[in-house]
Structure 1
Amino acid sequence: MTDPNDAADPTEALRAGLEDYELDESDISLLDAAPEDLPGADAGPLPVLAVVGRPNVGKSSLVNRILGRREAVVEDVPGVTRDRVTYPATWAGRSFTVMDTGGWEVDVAGLDARVAEQAEIAVELADAVLFVVDATVGPTSTDESVVRLLRRSGKPVLLVANKVDDERGELEAASLWSLGLGQPHPVSALHGRGSGDLLDAVLEVLPQTPRERLGPVAGGPRRVALVGRPNVGKSSLLNRLAGSERVVVDATAGTTRDPVDELVELGGRTWQLVDTAGIRRRVHQTRGADFYASLRTQAALEKAEVAVVLIDASETLTEQDTRIISMVVEAGRALVIAYNKWDLLDDERRHYLEREIERDLVQVQWAPRVNVSARTGRHVERLVPALDTALESWDARVPTGRLNAFLGELVAAHPHPVRGGKQPRILFATQAATRPPRFVIFASGFLEAGYRRFIERRLRETFGFTGTPIEVSVRVREKRRGRPGR
């Protein structure tokens, strides 16, 4: 068997074979990028520009115009974009991050409320905001409500009057002065009219470096978010780790409303711990202060590198517990699960807890587990090695040679099933990012979800990745027409 460490030549041969397939610019940039240039590498932080507005005002079209390529999904139907999605962008030699968001509605429920919540978090995380309004419709009551929220944020806001295709449209855009955000910037995201002037204005309000970085700061303390449902002991754990009563602790659930940052010495190093408000059932089911507390908790998680999810081991695992863990995974943060109040468990409860973990947390078996008691201090020192393990995995990079040698052996032993008389072939793979590790596989056909999960399991078995989510995506590329296969 070939040593994966000596796989440089086979890797180059695999890459050469890719020339027979249709590759676009993003494929080539991914394949040619040096490890230090890939997302997650130790590069300087970039400022964040959030693009927000009502549904179907052209936010994603504007994002594509800013990027100079079609990245965001665009469709003439409200609600196509639901989550926050970030893209790297460059204008006039300056780089920044663009955050696309779903349509922002007020006083809505269900999925629409979730979308609005994501937009509010985007504003919380941004350094500047583009507020997009449909100039052909004019200002609406929803637009006016969004303006009030934007003013409260204190962030620089540029008002974008979209769908201005001619001089008549510019006259219609003038009505947007009534929103009180200053001069509207008339653009046509579809045709590009006015986009250059808008980007020049963006660079004037966007700082050279972000107000606060999402994730790690080179040489700074690692950021740890303490998250969990109300009254599981997050504030008690922070006080125990800090060695003093830094945070108010009360038996009443919901005592903590705003995230509380504390620099704490653990294991001979400084860590930045963030105590957060307890996350209740669903954000759109909360009201008033609880809603904004949950919102700030999610924003605090986005700014962290690793999350310690506290679970009350003395009580039955709940849907809230599993949902909070899923939220950490979806945010791409390293994960440690701490079972608190361990001193209250008897043998029977421990037996049932193990069964609950096997049943309900099977998808995160890779997360380090620590059994602690914030009240007595039992085993809290075990959090540090668990955090170190999770963060090391979160930062880990697999050399391209090792990765392709691993996949070659895996596919030889367990080929993809034949479907419809066809069997997709894995052509090449590379790690596209760290924090968390993201892998891109180039294949000649669609890889079934079950087979992708199989690859993920084997990646964990071979390379570890204890304590971090990993993502495996597939780019299907067809052979170039008119060229013989090799």
Structure 2
Amino acid sequence: MTEEGTGGPLPVVAVVGRPNVGKSTLVNRILGRRAAVVQDVPGVTRDRISYEALWNGRRFTVTDTGGWDPRAEGLGASISRQAEHAMRTADVIVLVVDSTVGATDTDLAAARILRRSEQPVIVVANKVDDERSEANAAELWSLGLGEPQPVSALHGRGSGDLLDLVLDALPEAPRGEPEEGGPRRVALVGRPNVGKSSLLNRLAKEERSVVDSVAGTTVDPVDSIITLGGEEWRFVDTAGLRRKVTTASGTEYYASLRTEAAIQAAEVAVVLLAADEVISEQDQRVITQVVEAGRALVIAVNKWDTLDEDRHAQLEREVERDLARVRWASRVNISAASGRGVGRLADHLRAAIASWETRVPTAELNAYVRQLVQETPPPARGGRAPKIKYVTQADVRPPRFVVFSTGFLEAGYRRFLERKLRERFGFAGTPIDISVKVREGRERPRG
């Protein structure tokens, strides 16, 4: 997919249908890559998930949805509501039907609702792998939604013709008013069952993510535009990370890849920890992902209000010991269930992003470092003490500093410089990077 003009929102194509008819496979075919979770188990996609697609020079958003079942109860009913929401907000609706099964009662019920839709509806007869199967597709005229389009999402047969139809049906501009600017992007991450979806629903003040008592209900990132602290934010609720991507398999492998991609696409990550559980290896791994991606970091400790004073004190000791390497991270104690402390999250996000985007004036930076080096010079190495000649801030988002020195600076001294830069200039909530370039001679390097 090529980068094209990014101004304004894109028209939306919602892919809907009952469970296990191949919606996610079709979405992957449209995107030309494996983005949506696909597994031979009904109900793998449980939320509505949006991806950006490109066909014949036209960009649009494809929304994958959970299986649509008007008779569903419990978790199934939640999935249905997500699919129905996608239908209400889409510019074009693609109804996927399994041509090898034919129109089921659920398909007919969906078609009855869709016939009342103001948006164009395209019926996809999926799993038409050869000419002999096309007769099955013709039977889907009975849905009353026009000519069924025979497609094999798995093998790609007919997908180009389908995309041409989609482009013909798309409006020039999406429904709704274009947003001014773009909301700041927040990745909501953490290991399974710490309350990420519950927090997202609390923030959104609606059932935006499917919440179930089974750990790992969310398998795809889910975008939500949320107003918090008088400002709009784009939150992405992601799958809980259980193990390393290299050792995960199946659905978990692809969910882990997309969680990693969500962190990369975000500006700030909220890592959710469970106050009633010890800080685990999985928690540490999630935090490492955020730091290595160079994103601003807010640590939100969930279920804080359920603890007694002894556990509060114990948790503080755990944080001090186990999260010492990210003492700079912004931290807020919350309760997703009751809403306590959630309102403070906006201030922490704003402060972390401000630090992430901070640039220190070169003159001020060098004046401070010169004074610092006079008071605490770098230790000698090989009988010769290196001299710091010049410091420049090379980048922001996150802040990156380059130290020009006559010799190698030990890791301990680089950590000392980082600590002192934080004390002087802040940088709460953002990682900072300090690299050293060794330059011999008397000439001052150019910044």
Q: Which TM-score applies when normalising by structure 1?
A: 0.55
Deviation, structure 1 residue 47? 4.7
Question: Which whole-Å CA distance do the structure 2 matches of 1:384 and 1:376 have between them?
Answer: 17
Compute the displacement of 1:346 (Å): 1.3
Distance (whole Å) between structure 2 residues aligned to residue 334 and residue 219 of structure 1: 20
Paired position in structure 1 for 2:412: 450
The equivalent of 1:237 in structure 2 is 199
For residues 344 and 317 of structure 1, what CA distance do their matches in structure 2 show? 17
Q: Which runs of 5+ in 2 are unaligned?
A: 5-32, 36-51, 56-178
Q: Which digits, 9 at most, give the CA deviation of each residue in 1:351-399, with x for residues without a partner?
A: 2111111110001111111100001101100101100110000000000
**Aligned-pair RMSD on alpha carbons?**
2.5
Which among 223, 226, 243 is matched to residue 281 of structure 1? 243
Structure 2 residue 437 is the aligned partner of structure 1 residue 479:
no
In structure 2, the CA distance between the partners of 1:265 and 1:245, relative to structure 1 (3 Å rule), is same
Q: Does 2:335 match 1:373?
A: yes
How far did 1:479 drift?
2.3
C-alpha distance in 1, partners of 2:53/2:411?
A: 43
Written as runs of structure 1 = structure 2, the 5 A alignment for 1:291-440 is: 291-440=253-402
Instruction: Name the CA shift for 1:429/1:218 in 2 (closer, same or farther; >3 Å).
Output: farther
Letter in 1 for 2:221: P
- Distance in 2 of aligned mates of 1:340 and 1:252: 18
Aligned residue for 2:278, secondary structure, equals coil
Question: How many angstroms apart in 1 are the aligned matches of 2:351 and 2:242?
Answer: 29
Q: Secondary structure at the match of 1:370?
A: strand
Identical-residue share of aligned pairs (%): 61
Between the aligned partners of 1:381 and 1:417, the Cα distance in structure 2 is 46
Aligned equivalent of 2:220, options 244, 247, 258: 258
How far apart in 2 are the matches of 1:333 and 1:479?
Answer: 36
Return the alpha-carbon distance in structure 1 between the equivalents of residues 195 and 217 of structure 2. 11
Conserved 8 A contact 1:124-1:299: no
Residues 294-350 of structure 1: CA deviation (Å, up to 9, x unaligned): 111110111000000000011111011111111101000000000001122112211
Alpha carbons of structure 1 residues 265 and 286: separation in structure 2 relative to 1, 3 Å: same
- State the distance in 2 between where 1:422 and 1:124 align: 55
| Amino acid in structure 2 at the alignment position of 1:473 | S
In 1, the alpha carbon distance for the partners of 2:200 and 2:319 equals: 25
Alignment TM-score, normalising by the size of structure 2: 0.59
Instruction: Pick the aligned partner of 1:460 from 397, 422, 447.
Output: 422
Please report how far the alpha carbon of residue 478 of structure 1 lies from its aligned counterpart in structure 2 after TM superposition. Answer: 1.9
218 and 452 in structure 1: CA distance in 2 versus 1, 3 angstrom threshold: farther
Residue 403 of structure 2 aligns to a residue in which SS? strand
- CA drift of 1:419 comes to 2.1
Letter in 2 for 1:458: K
Kindly tell me: are residues 284 and 218 of structure 1, through their superposed partners in 2, closer, same or farther at Cα, counting changes over 3 Å? farther
Partner of 2:432: 470
Q: Report SS of the residue matched to 1:317.
A: coil
Residues 155/340 of structure 1: CA separation in 2 closer, same or farther (3 Å cut): same
Instruction: Read off the aligned partner of 2:307 and give its amino acid letter.
Output: L
Q: Which one-letter code corresponds to 1:254 in the other structure?
A: G
How far apart, CA to CA, are the structure 1 residues paired with 2:254 and 2:34? 11
In structure 2, how many angstroms separate the alpha carbons of the residues matched to 1:275 and 1:372? Answer: 17
Alignment-mate amino acid for residue 280 of structure 1:
R
**Residue 225 of structure 1 pairs with residue 187 of structure 2:** yes
For 2:206, the aligned partner's letter is: S
1:227/1:310 contact within 8 Å kept: yes
CA distance in 1: counterparts of 2:442 and 2:306, whole angstroms: 65
CA distance in 2 between counterparts of 1:411 and 1:381 reads 42
Secondary structure of the 1:302 match is helix
Provide the C-alpha distance between the structure 2 equivalents of 1:326 and 1:319, rounded to a whole number of angstroms.
Answer: 10
Segments of 4+ in structure 1 off by > 3 A?
Answer: 153-156
What secondary structure does 2:298 align onto?
A: strand
Secondary structure of the structure 2 residue equivalent to 1:389 = helix
Separation in structure 2 between the aligned mates of residue 271 and residue 290 of structure 1, nearest angstrom: 27
Any conservation in 2 of the 1:426–1:444 contact (CA below 8 Å)? yes
Other-structure match for 2:142: none
Displacement of 1:448:
0.7
How far apart are 1:284 and its partner, in Å? 2.0
In 2, Cα distance between equivalents of 1:331 and 1:218? 27
Deviation at 1:267, TM superposition (A): 1.0
Measured in 1, the distance between the counterparts of 2:288 and 2:34 equals 21
SS in 1 for 2:232: strand
Label 1:316 to 1:416 Cα distance change in 2 as closer, same or farther (>3 A).
Answer: same
CA–CA distance in structure 2, aligned partners of residues 294 and 421 of structure 1? 48
For 2:434, what is the secondary structure of its paired residue? strand
Hey, what's the Cα distance between the residues in 1 that align with 2:269 and 2:190?
A: 10
Q: Which runs of 5+ in 1 are unaligned?
A: 1-45, 49-122, 126-152, 157-216, 482-486
Taking structure 1 as reference, are residues 382 and 452 closer, same or farther at Cα in structure 2, changes over 3 Å only?
same
